[in-house]
Amino acid sequence: MKKIIALSICTILGTLAGYFAAPILSMAAAQSSDPDIFAVAMLANYKNSVVCDCLGQPVKESAKGLSEYLSILQKFREKNQKSAVPAQELGLTYVRLSLVERRLDEQSHADEDMKHGQAELATIGWKDTSSTHLTFLVTQLNSEYKPADGNKKTVAAAATTPR
């Protein structure tokens, strides 16, 4: 009888451990089955958290978050040199950082980052890389992350379906 009870307890404990380990195993399986999707999805999630936080947290924290995101993007680009995606994201993040630095009265850093952003976006064929246009564009893009309605919406997604 004691043996049966001991074995039952072991089974329950094992089942519980397996139950809680399943999410970790799933993440590992998803990562190994498609590392590209996993990497970009993680990047996208990180971006959402950084850009969302940019709108609600102290300016210095925003600058720190964006700088960290920039360094992650640079590493990502080293691994995906043929893709234009990291260049666009880097360009826009430099512009975002520049706007934050302007609010911190770090004009020289702001100008430097704006130039980096303009250079990145010019390499992927953007027609208007003037500081005025990029400032407008990033402000518009940031407005999609406003926590007011709680949902991120893109113009494309918000567009009504044809009637």
Partner 1 sequence: MKAIRFISFCLGCVLVSVAAGAATCVIRAKYWYLPNVKANLAYSYAGFFSEYAVLQSNQASAQDGKTALLQYLGILQRFQSEKIGYPENLLHLYSGQTYLRLYRLEVVTKNPAKADEYLRSAERELAIQGHKEITPEQLIRYTQALEASEAKFYNGNTGIPVPVDEQKP
Q: Interface residues with partner 1 (CB under 8 A)?
A: 3, 6-7, 10-19, 21-23, 25-27, 29-30, 34, 37-38, 40-45, 47, 84-85, 88-89, 121, 124-128, 133, 136-137, 140, 154-157, 159, 161-163
CB atoms within 10 A of CB 92: 21
End-to-end CA distance of the chain: 71
Closest CB to partner 1 among 17 and 55? 17
- Minimum gap (Å) between residue 157 Cβ and partner 1: 8
- Minimum gap (Å) between residue 162 Cβ and partner 1: 4
- Minimum gap (Å) between residue 93 Cβ and partner 1: 13
∠ CA 146-147-152, nearest 5°, is 70
* Residues 38/156/83/120 CA torsion (nearest 10 deg): -120
Closest CB to partner 1 among 89 and 101? 89
78/39 Cα distance (integer angstroms)? 13
- Please report, for residues 31, 41, 132, the alpha-carbon distance to residue 34 in angstroms, rounded to integers and kept in the order given: 6, 11, 40
Closest CB to partner 1 among 40 and 119? 40
- Minimum gap (Å) between residue 60 Cβ and partner 1: 27
Closest CB to partner 1 among 80 and 106? 80
